[in-house]
Chain A
Amino acid sequence: MADAAHAKDNGVDTNTPSTRAKVQAFGGFLTNMVLPNIGAFIAWGLLTALFIPTGWIPNEELAQIVDPAINYLLPLLLAITGGRMVGGQRGAVMGAIGAIGLIVGADIPMFLGAMVIGPLGGLIIKKFDKIIENRVPAGFEMIVNNFSLGILGFLLMILSFYFIGPTIESANNLVTAAIEALVATGLLPLLSLINEPAKVLFLNNVIDQGIYYPLGMQASAEVGKSIYFTVASNPGPGLGLLLAFTFFGKKTARRTAPGAMIIHFLGGIHELYFPYVLMKPLTIIGMIAGGMSGIAVFSLFDAGLTAGPSPGSIIAYLGLTPKGNFIGIIAGVLVAAVVTFLVTAFILKLDRSSDEEDISASVEKSKAMKQAGKEASATRQKNEEINTISFVCDAGAGSSAMGATTFRKKLQKNDIEGLEVKHYRIEDAPQHSDIIVVHEDLQERAKGAHPDKEIITIENYLNDPALERLMERLKKE
């Protein structure tokens, strides 16, 4: 997460942000949207591996949770996180409202859609709030806030139901058509070009059960086995990817990957590795390379499975391997894992080295800045334009509100316009805050929650010398 912040700093600080910095900032955004929700993916993965009809201890009642959780819970979480990152708590609500329209409007899990609509919802409400700021008469804030969110959300819900959901679904149909065309060419490894991206978008069940298993069933009825059962369900590439993250990933991703690996490879719940690809989209190249090599090896050995492995776990694989095919199947899985591991490791290392450059560069920069001004806390980003000032306190209701209200009044008196001055709970202050104002008693907590922000500490929420200095700074702008 610090990477994201650094990448972002890079984009903001320099006058002409490099393309690389922009790409990194975007990657960091995806990571931050997915990573906080991995726990939910694991919960769902455990549930699915255990209780679906083909699971370890089938349980019809508990298995009822599987579908609602993947269709509603997981996409909503992504949309909420994405919305919050752009537009704070109001953005989170807006993202969830938009996502539910999307989910109900489509028949497949809407992950990609949720990752688009969440931030979009956040953006809409943020822009709207900016427009009406300072124009709402005192006492009407709550009604305006609630109804603006309600009405905009209502519209977004309808829009996503009718337009965005179906757009993504038609992309899904396109994928189906493309796979059928590739099958017709007879060059099976090419299938990975479509399989892997489609899987990561949670279309795995659609393509497996909708396309490959019926094809496989036909062949299996005639010759007792089919390679189609393996083309998208091979657990090898996912294993390779998670291994690569385990060794070369960063921070949280690195620590969570081993757990995901067990649920993926032994439990056969491929969904567990999807978030890792979503947060570093380039790694899809590793997945495709691994998938292709796997299919090539299966073809070479003329190997196949007797039925569709569901879930696609190594144990289901071995259980469904007909006599004489073990070498081919095991080789296919292993080769796929090794190829994906190597390619992904290369991609992660590349990413890492460029990040390290950035980190050392930004350390240099902040050192230089620190030396520039002695008033340590008040000068960290002295030259930057100030747009957003967030007053924070423990509950985000009392003293921070008092501070923000009073400061807004003073700004008005001084005819300073166009600033966003709001109050939050310490941890909820939005990422785009330029300055965070907090009481000195709470400064440790504020620094912990916002290590990369300029923090002004005050003793008096109404008339503090530090606030007067801030006002002088704003006057100069």
Chain B
Amino acid sequence: MLAEYLEGNIRFLPSVDSWEEGIKKAADPLLHNGSITPQYIEDMIGNVNTNGPYIVIVPGIAMPHAKNDGSVVKTSVSYLKLEEPVKFPKDKEVHTFFVLAAEDSTGHLDLISDLSSILIEDEIKNKLEESKSEQEILEVLKMVE
């Protein structure tokens, strides 16, 4: 499920200047294929500014997301891996972004469930972090599904 959604939405970058830019770059594929509007990116950044960096769900990994106020067209996920981690508020370092855009609060639960399976298992999580190409990542994901 997750692999299906991620196909074509995976990016690798050496580094970004700020966490805001990280979120923008990570969400770029979704903006490009029309799954979200620019407003959603603003909302995700605003979410961190108002509520703090709680989207850093495990050390090193952020799941930027926000409430859908008409800014999510289609439930979708994208992935960004940085070679150089970027600092979020409270000095939280992040090298991996999973941008989550959900139409409502139930439709994407299978995606979240897959994502949680991956992050729970240290072995799989490490493999994911070592992956260098979209192909490799999709293969790791298919292992858990």
Interface residues of A (CB under 8 A from B): 138-139, 141-142, 145, 393-399, 401-402, 405-406, 409-410, 423, 425, 439-442, 445, 460-463
**B55 adjacent to A142 (CB under 8 Å):** no
Return the chain B residue nearest A401 by Cβ: B112
**Complexed CA–CA distance, A145 and B106 (Å):** 9
B67 within 8 A of A: yes
23 of the cross-chain contacts (CB-CB < 8 Å) are A138-B110, A138-B113, A141-B110, A142-B109, A394-B54, A397-B104, A399-B57, A399-B63, A401-B108, A402-B112, A402-B116, A405-B112, A405-B116, A406-B119, A406-B120, A409-B116, A409-B117, A423-B105, A440-B54, A441-B51, A441-B53, A462-B57, A463-B58
Q: A395 contacts which chain B residues (CB < 8 A)?
A: 47, 65-68, 105
Interface residues of B (CB under 8 A from A): 1, 47, 51-55, 57-59, 63, 65-68, 100, 102, 104-110, 112-113, 115-117, 119-120
**Complexed CA–CA distance, A138 and B110 (Å):** 6
A440 to chain B, nearest CB (A): 8
Answer whether A393 and B112 are a contact pair too, CB < 8 Å, given A145-B106, A460-B59: no
Return the chain A residue nearest B89 by Cβ: A441
Return the chain A residue nearest B103 by Cβ: A397
Q: A462 contacts which chain B residues (CB < 8 A)?
A: 57-58, 116, 119-120
A398 to chain B, nearest CB (A): 4
**Complexed CA–CA distance, A138 and B104 (Å):** 16
Q: How many A-B residue pairs have CB under 8 A?
A: 90
B65 to chain A, nearest CB (A): 4
Candidates B52, B57, B67, B120; contact of A442 at CB < 8 Å: B52
Q: A145 contacts which chain B residues (CB < 8 A)?
A: 106
**B54 adjacent to A441 (CB under 8 Å):** yes
Q: B112 contacts which chain A residues (CB < 8 A)?
A: 398, 401-402, 405
Return the chain B residue nearest A410 by Cβ: B120
Answer whether A442 and B119 are a contact pair too, CB < 8 Å, given A398-B65, A399-B63, A401-B105: no
A6 to chain B, nearest CB (A): 30
**Complexed CA–CA distance, A144 and B76 (Å):** 21
**Complexed CA–CA distance, A395 and B106 (Å):** 12
**Complexed CA–CA distance, A396 and B100 (Å):** 13
Q: A138 contacts which chain B residues (CB < 8 A)?
A: 109-110, 113
B68 to chain A, nearest CB (A): 8
Q: B106 contacts which chain A residues (CB < 8 A)?
A: 141-142, 145
Return the chain A residue nearest B106 by Cβ: A142
**B105 adjacent to A396 (CB under 8 Å):** yes
Q: A139 contacts which chain B residues (CB < 8 A)?
A: 1, 109-110
DSSP majority for the B interface? loop
Return the chain A residue nearest B104 by Cβ: A397
B90 to chain A, nearest CB (A): 8
**Complexed CA–CA distance, A312 and B121 (Å):** 71
**A399 adjacent to B105 (CB under 8 Å):** no
**A439 adjacent to B54 (CB under 8 Å):** yes
**Complexed CA–CA distance, A402 and B51 (Å):** 17
B74 to chain A, nearest CB (A): 15
**B102 adjacent to A398 (CB under 8 Å):** yes
**Complexed CA–CA distance, A441 and B50 (Å):** 10
B22 to chain A, nearest CB (A): 17
A390 to chain B, nearest CB (A): 13
Q: B113 contacts which chain A residues (CB < 8 A)?
A: 138, 405
B122 to chain A, nearest CB (A): 9
| Most chain A CB atoms below 10 A, which of B51, B65, B109 | B109
**B66 adjacent to A442 (CB under 8 Å):** no
| Most chain B CB atoms below 10 A, which of A396, A399, A440 | A399
**B51 adjacent to A405 (CB under 8 Å):** no
**B107 adjacent to A460 (CB under 8 Å):** no
Q: A399 contacts which chain B residues (CB < 8 A)?
A: 54-55, 57, 63, 65
Q: A441 contacts which chain B residues (CB < 8 A)?
A: 51-54
| Most chain B CB atoms below 10 A, which of A394, A401, A440 | A401
**Complexed CA–CA distance, A253 and B1 (Å):** 51
Candidates A401, A410, A439, A442; contact of B109 at CB < 8 Å: A401
B44 to chain A, nearest CB (A): 10
**A402 adjacent to B105 (CB under 8 Å):** no
**Complexed CA–CA distance, A476 and B120 (Å):** 23
Return the chain A residue nearest B102 by Cβ: A397
**Complexed CA–CA distance, A139 and B120 (Å):** 19
Question: Apart from A397-B67, A441-B54, A462-B120, what are 15 other A-B pairs with CB-CB below 8 Å?
Answer: A138-B113, A139-B110, A142-B106, A394-B67, A395-B66, A396-B105, A399-B57, A399-B65, A406-B116, A406-B119, A442-B54, A445-B51, A461-B58, A462-B116, A463-B120
**A398 adjacent to B55 (CB under 8 Å):** yes
| Most chain B CB atoms below 10 A, which of A141, A402, A440, A461 | A402
A427 to chain B, nearest CB (A): 12
A423 to chain B, nearest CB (A): 7
B58 to chain A, nearest CB (A): 5
Return the chain B residue nearest A400 by Cβ: B105
A10 to chain B, nearest CB (A): 33
**Complexed CA–CA distance, A64 and B4 (Å):** 53
Q: B54 contacts which chain A residues (CB < 8 A)?
A: 393-394, 399, 439-442
Q: B104 contacts which chain A residues (CB < 8 A)?
A: 397
A444 to chain B, nearest CB (A): 10
